Structures are given as C-alpha cells and as structure tokens.
Amino acid sequence: MVSSNAVACCSPIAVRPMDADQAAAVAPMFKALGDPVRLRLMSMIASVAEICVCDLTPAFDLSGPTISHHLKVLREAGLVHSERRGTWVWYRVKPEAFQHLGALLEISAAPTVGGTR
C-alpha cells in the first residue's frame, strides 16, 4: 500500500487510462468519500491531528451506530486509522491514501483540452 505512492505519482488518471484492476482498487476510496456524512467526517478528522469519536458523533443528527458504520467504511477503504485508548477511540487520517487520490486528480487539469483533435 505504501508503494502505491509511486504508481500515483507516475500514472495519474489523465496520463494513461486506468485498467480494470487499477480502477477496482481505487474506486472504493472515492466511493467512501461519496457520502456527505463520510465526507464531513473525513474533513473533521483531517482538520486535526486526531479526533475522538465522542467529538464526531454530536456534530450530526444521526445515531451512534450510524456514525460508527460510516467510520468503518472509511477505515475499510484505508482512508483512516483508529485506535482505542482507554474509554475512547481516536481516529486519524492515513496521509498515503489521501496523497494517492490527490495525485490522481491534480494532474488532469494540466493537458490542454482543445489541443489534440
């Protein structure tokens, strides 16, 4: 997973079309960010070094289990890491995953649109 950094930096989405395997590997990350609740959770987690679930839950009009479910989706997508310390559970972003996604997107703005054909 760490070595995927190299892939991200050299074959972004816009330089060469992704094959089915690449797409299948990356899509779940985008999918995880494709829900407004999870996107907000993600940004709350990313905006600090780490954050307790007890600080995340009250920000939403949703039940605890629902928040827990969304956090699990983010976890399983490899976007965040969780760690229990005593009573509370703390969440932190996994920067590699973020970098990976960012690298896929940022380049695609560069090539000229009207140029080729």
Binding residues (CB under 7 A) for DNA: these are 31, 34-35, 37-38, 52-54, 57, 61-73, 82, 84, 86-89
Give the shortest CB-1-to-DNA separation in angstroms.
20
Counting Cα atoms < 13 Å in the Cβ hemisphere of 100 gives: 23
What spatial distance separates the first Cα and last Cα of the chain, rounded to whole Å? Answer: 37
CA angle (35, 12, 22) in 5-degree steps: 65
Query: What Å distances lie between residue 104 and 68, 73, 74, CA to CA?
Result: 28, 21, 19
Q: Using CB under 8 A, which residues numbered 13 to 52 contact a second copy?
A: 13-20, 23-24, 26-28, 30-40, 42-44, 46-50
Question: What six digits make up the tokens of 51?
Answer: 């954050």
Give the shortest CB-64-to-a second copy separation in angstroms.
18
Q: Can you give the binding site for a second copy, defined by CB under 8 A?
A: 13-20, 23-24, 26-28, 30-40, 42-44, 46-50, 92-93, 95, 98-99, 101-103, 105-106, 108-109, 111-117
